[in-house]
């Protein structure tokens, strides 16, 4: 880490650990409670507020918002995991979700863990405030039985970590976060304090951008900081009432141009470019909120079209349609479990949906030649860039 590039000290400073094995590390300043937004940031905030307001309104008007939560959360989990190098496709993850079991594929399992970590945190929000304790619980679930499981899941680090090229060392790191004691602990206390403050002059979306930047700068865990920091964006926006459901998937925006995402974070540390980071973050919120609304409308149109096509159908077909919007892959066993019907009844309704052009056979495999079906129209809509 070249201390000559860290020329602005508003949001933190470089310090050196003394001694023969000393090294430079970054000490973040407390997060600002007031911030004068420039004209570009104000415009970006206004656009993001409108977009997320529309998304929140869409979520409240949906007759069954849970139908979109699962595919949207999958989209977020997949992109966030890909940023960290996970190799899995949306089709891989959706197909694995059919059985509601842990996938043998470690890449798919990392995506599943992201969803499980979010659901763990969301459930605990009914019992705990959004806090460091809750975050540690989410982190433990995030790293369970995947890469990084040996790096103390659920525990804040007690050794130094760093960000750099794979296989790199502390000496050639791009960025070295604060020491675990006392700097990291002090920064975490300040971060949690801002997390709980509700009478600020700063808008919630700006606070969210500040919190994400600072969490990635503190880097409090040995692994999983990026995924958990992005997961916290959704949790925070729900906690402060900006979103009724987890319908915003911001990680695809970061994933599309990872170098810019990392560069914007680093520019705050090196040159104090907080306004540029907030503009980038707010443009991402607006972009992804608009995309989420558009996909919701297209999915609802598709659902209406299929219900019209099945008008008067007295089978379980309309109920299976609802299952498909949670994940477009389906099996006889899933229908049996969800609708409490017999094997024959489940097969009958799936063939009925195949006949009317809603389902196709994705593949046949496994013991007994199990058929996995897919609704290609839903899948195409979800994977559409």
Write down all domains in the chain, each with its CATH number in brackets.
3-295 (1.10.3290.10), 313-383 (1.10.10.10)
**Which two tokens mark 26?**
């970054």
Express each pLDDT in 329-367 by its tens digit: 899 998 999 899 999 999 999 999 999 999 999 877 655
Taking each helix axis from N to C terminus, what angle separates 185-196 and 204-218, rounded to the nearest 10 degrees? 160
Q: What is the pLDDT of residue 367?
A: 58
Give the percent of the chain with pLDDT over 90: 64
Q: Scan for tokens 């604060």, then name that residue.
A: 178
Q: How far is CA 384 from CA 75, 103, 328, 379, 380, in A?
A: 11, 24, 14, 8, 6
Express each pLDDT in 264-317 by its tens digit: 999 999 999 999 999 999 999 999 999 999 998 898 899 889 988 888 777 788
Q: What is the mean pLDDT of the chain?
A: 90
Express each pLDDT in 87-136 by its tens digit: 888 788 877 777 666 778 888 999 999 999 999 999 999 899 999 999 99
Whole-angstrom Cα Rg for the chain: 23
Express each pLDDT in 142-173 by its tens digit: 999 887 778 899 999 999 999 988 888 888 89
Q: What is the pLDDT of residue 210?
A: 98
Does residue 20 register a pLDDT over 90? no
């Amino acid at each position: 880490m070249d201390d000559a590039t860290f020329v602005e000290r508003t949001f933190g400073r470089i310090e050196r650990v003394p001694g023969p094995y000393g090294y430079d590390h970054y000490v973040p300043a407390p997060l600002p409670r007031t911030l004068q937004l420039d004209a570009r940031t104000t415009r970006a905030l206004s656009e993001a507020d409108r977009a997320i307001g529309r998304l929140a309104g869409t979520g409240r008007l949906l007759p069954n918002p849970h139908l979109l939560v699962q595919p949207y959360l999958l989209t977020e989990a997949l992109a966030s995991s890909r940023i960290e190098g996970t190799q899995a496709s949306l089709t891989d993850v959706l197909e694995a979700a059919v059985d509601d079991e842990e996938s043998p594929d470690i890449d798919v399992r990392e995506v599943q863990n992201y969803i499980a970590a979010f659901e763990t945190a969301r459930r605990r929000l009914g019992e705990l405030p959004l806090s460091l304790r809750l975050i540690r619980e989410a982190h433990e679930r995030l790293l369970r039985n995947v890469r990084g499981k040996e790096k103390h899941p659920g525990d804040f680090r007690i050794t130094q970590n760093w960000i750099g090229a794979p296989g790199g060392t502390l000496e050639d790191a791009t960025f070295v976060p604060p020491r675990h004691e006392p700097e990291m602990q002090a920064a975490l206390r300040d971060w949690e304090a801002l997390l709980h403050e509700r009478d600020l002059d700063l808008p919630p979306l700006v606070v969210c951008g500040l919190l994400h930047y600072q969490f990635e700068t503190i880097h409090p865990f040995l692994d999983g900081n990026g995924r958990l920091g992005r997961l916290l964006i959704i949790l925070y926006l729900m906690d402060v009432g900006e979103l009724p459901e987890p319908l915003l998937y911001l990680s695809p925006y970061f994933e599309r141009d990872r170098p810019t995402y990392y560069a914007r974070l680093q520019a705050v540390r090196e040159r104090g470019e907080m306004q540029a980071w907030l503009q980038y973050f707010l443009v991402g919120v607006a972009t992804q909120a608009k995309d989420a609304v558009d996909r919701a409308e297209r999915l609802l149109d598709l659902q209406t079209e299929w219900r019209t096509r099945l008008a008067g159908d007295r089978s379980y077909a309309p109920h299976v349609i609802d299952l498909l919007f949670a994940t477009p892959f389906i099996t006889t066993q899933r229908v049996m479990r969800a609708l409490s019907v017999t094997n024959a009844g489940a097969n009958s309704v799936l063939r009925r949906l195949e006949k009317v052009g809603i389902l196709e056979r994705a593949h046949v495999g496994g013991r007994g030649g199990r058929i996995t079906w897919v609704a290609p129209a839903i899948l195409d809509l979800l994977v559409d860039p």
